[in-house]
Amino acid sequence: MASYRGFDYLEIDTLFNEEERLVRQTARQFVEQKVIPVIKECYNEGRFPKDLIPQMAGLGFLGANLEGYGCAGMSNVEYGLIMQELERGDSGLRSFVSVQGALVMYPIFAYGSESQKQKWLPRLQSGEAIGCFGLTEPGFGSNPGGMTTRAEERGAEWILNGEKTWITNGTVADVAIVWARTSGGIRGFLVERGTPGFTSSDIHGKLSMRASVTSSLVLSDCRIPAANLLPEAIGLKAALGCLSQARFGIGWGVLGAAMDCLETARQYTVMRKQFDDRPIASHQLVQEKLAWMATEITKGQLLAIQCGRLKDKKKLLPAHISMLKRNNVAMALECARLSRDLLGANGIIDDYPIMRHMCNLETVKTYEGTDHIHTLVIGERVTGVPAYK
């Protein structure tokens, strides 16, 4: 079978420079050679492919768009292309890299003290340490500002109490970025594995993101040194700043899943014959679905590239990212559903990646700001009127 070449209907490649294409090639080859051969089994067994961590770290995938501390210093477009290729492999793998880079390394990089950066960033970049991000609570998802986790300052310590859930990498993390309410508002803290009063457990029964670790964290009179407060992580907007980084990666990542679905459906419908021994790709109803996917993926690519270029110029707004995340995730999910349809019964079998992508994308639609919440962010930007309540 021909090797995977992504999807490029509109000479989108001419919008990328040589380095960007080279970065994509590295990520694409890595996924083709190391991820595709193992991911089906990992997904079926509900296991994260942790052997891939040192390899991804060695290639520079972790915290790739950060500068210094061993990070690769990639542009945001290059970072986006890495996410795209990783998610072509599996959303769970991309989630791991997103969380490590955008939700753990980024807040330490952006809000941490120099000694916190020196301590954690090189270890997180090399994959020697793994991190997780604790914002969501059982009672507070779309409305994180209502969080009930509290932190009290007592002498040279902070005492944390509360519960966090839907935490990617929770049980495998060496350090958790935990957001908690203090007398001075919401703040971000570094909570290290093994700290008394800090426990984590995995969420079982997931029918989506099965190749990813998802956990709950419990903080029960958990005492951490005052030095573990992230000095610049002040207010909910600091937490949302991390989510903007991660959502940007998602907006690119899902393009990879969508391309994989389209390419799978395209190959299948060209080979599969029904009625007079003709390929089903010759039927108009089939072509309509393929044409829709081709068009929407192309539009999604343009959206992602423009957001990437804006981000590199430091002009990308959270409301822009909402459009990128919302549009591309919904589009990718629809591509997965249409592709499943085109493969008929074969579409539900794990010989093909489609059903796995589809199940994963249901999660992606919800996490990091639900489709609905991003709609309201765009609505507020367009009208000037917030409509959250």
Residues tagged active-site: 368
Closest separation in Å from C-beta 214 to other proteins: 27
Residue ranges in 78-137 that form contacts with other proteins under rule CB under 8 A: 78, 82
Q: Total residues contacting other proteins (rule CB under 8 A)?
A: 22
Residue ranges in 39-78 that form contacts with other proteins under rule CB under 8 A: 58-61, 64, 72-74, 78
Nearer to other proteins, 63 or 112 (CB): 63
> Taking the CA of residue 212 as centre, how many other CA atoms within 13 Å lie in the half-sphere pointing to its CB?
31
DSSP secondary structure string for all residues of 234-290: ESHHHHHHHHHHHHHHHHHHHHHHHHHHHHHHHHHHHH-EETTTEEGGGSHHHHHHH
Closest separation in Å from C-beta 55 to other proteins: 9
Q: Considering only residues 7, 16, 30, 48, which one is a binding residue for other proteins as defined by CB under 8 A?
A: 30
Report strand pairing: 198-202 vs 67-68: unpaired
Q: CA gyration radius for the chain?
A: 21
| Tokens, residue 142 | 């779309």
Q: How far apart are the first and last CA of the chain?
A: 52
Sign of torsion, CA 375 377 381 383? positive
d(CA 140, CA 157): 26
Nearer to other proteins, 61 or 120 (CB): 61
User: 3-class secondary structure for 309-361?
Assistant: HHHHCCCCCHHHHHHHHHHHHHHHHHHHHHHHHHCHHHHHCCCCCHHHHHHHH
Nearer to other proteins, 9 or 388 (CB): 9
Closest separation in Å from C-beta 52 to other proteins: 13
Sign of torsion, CA 67 71 77 79? negative
| Tokens, residue 295 | 């068009």
Instruction: Verify binding: residue 321, other proteins, rule CB under 8 A.
Output: no
Closest separation in Å from C-beta 21 to other proteins: 7
Nearer to other proteins, 61 or 189 (CB): 61
Residue ranges in 9-28 that form contacts with other proteins under rule CB under 8 A: 18-19, 21-23, 25-26
Closest separation in Å from C-beta 26 to other proteins: 5
Nearer to other proteins, 233 or 281 (CB): 281
Closest separation in Å from C-beta 289 to other proteins: 24
Under a CB-based contact definition with an 8 Å cutoff, are residues 307 and 324 in contact? yes
Nearer to other proteins, 29 or 113 (CB): 29
| Max Cα-Cα span within the chain | 81
Residue ranges in 176-215 that form contacts with other proteins under rule CB under 8 A: none
For 101, which DSSP code?
Answer: I
Nearer to other proteins, 16 or 166 (CB): 16
Closest separation in Å from C-beta 10 to other proteins: 14
Under a CB-based contact definition with an 8 Å cutoff, are residues 339 and 347 in contact? yes
Interface residue list for other proteins (CB under 8 A): 2-3, 5, 18-19, 21-23, 25-26, 29-30, 58-61, 64, 72-74, 78, 82
